[in-house]
Amino acid sequence: MQWSKLFAHRVFFQDKALQDLKRDHMFIDMHTHTGYSHDSNTRVSSLLRTAKKEGIGLAVTDHLQVKGALEACKDRKVFVIPGIEIAAKENKEILLYFYSIKDLLDFHQKNIERRLTTHEYKHARFRNTIKSLKCTTPMIELLEQADEYNCVKCIPHPFSYLLRNSHKFFSQKDGKMKLIDAIEVVNSTMSPSRNKKAAKWGMKQKKAFTAGSDAHTAKELGKAMTATRASNIEEFLERIREKQGILLGKEMSRREAINHIIRLGLVKREKME
Identify the residue with better confidence: 131 or 3: 131
Q: Residue 207: pLDDT above 70?
A: yes
Q: Which amino acid is at 126?
A: F
Residue 123 has pLDDT above 70, yes or no: no
Average pLDDT, the chain: 87
Report the C-alpha gap between 174 and 46 in whole angstroms: 41
* Structural domain boundaries in the chain: 23-272
- Residues 6+ away with beta carbon under 8 Å from 16: none
Q: Does residue 269 surpass a pLDDT of 80?
A: no
What is the rounded average pLDDT of the residues 92-110? 98
Question: Tell me, what's the pLDDT at 63?
Answer: 96
Q: With a cut of 50, say whether residue 141 has pLDDT above it.
A: yes
Between the ranges 3-12, 199-208, 252-261, where is the mean pLDDT highest? Answer: 199-208
Enter the pTM of the model. 0.87
pLDDT at 247 over 70: yes
pLDDT at 191: 86
CA distances from 2 to 13, 89, 158, 246 (A): 19, 36, 21, 19
Sign of torsion over alpha carbons 122, 124, 128, 134: negative
Residue 178 backbone class (left: φ over 0; alpha: ψ -120 to 50; beta: rest): alpha
pLDDT at 14: 54
Q: For residue 263, name the pLDDT band (cuts at 50, 70, 90).
A: low
162-165 — which CB contacts under 8 Å span 24+ positions? 162/121, 162/124, 162/261, 163/91, 163/121, 164/92, 164/93
Angle among Cα 194, 171, 138 to the nearest 5 degrees reads 105
Min mean pLDDT across 34-38, 162-166, 182-186, 202-206 is at 162-166
**Multiple choice CATH, 23-272, 3.20.20.140, 3.30.70.3270, 3.30.420.40, 3.40.50.300:** 3.20.20.140
The pLDDT score that the predictor gives to residue 179 is 97
Q: Which of 158-167, 175-184, 216-225 has the lowest mean pLDDT?
A: 158-167
Inform me whether the pLDDT recorded for 30 exceeds 70: yes
Contacts of 232 (CB under 8 A, 6+ apart): none
Centre a 10 Å sphere on the Cβ of residue 81 and count the other Cβ atoms it contains.
26
Per-residue confidence at 80, pLDDT binned at 50, 70, 90?
very high
| Mean pLDDT (whole number) for 186-193 | 91
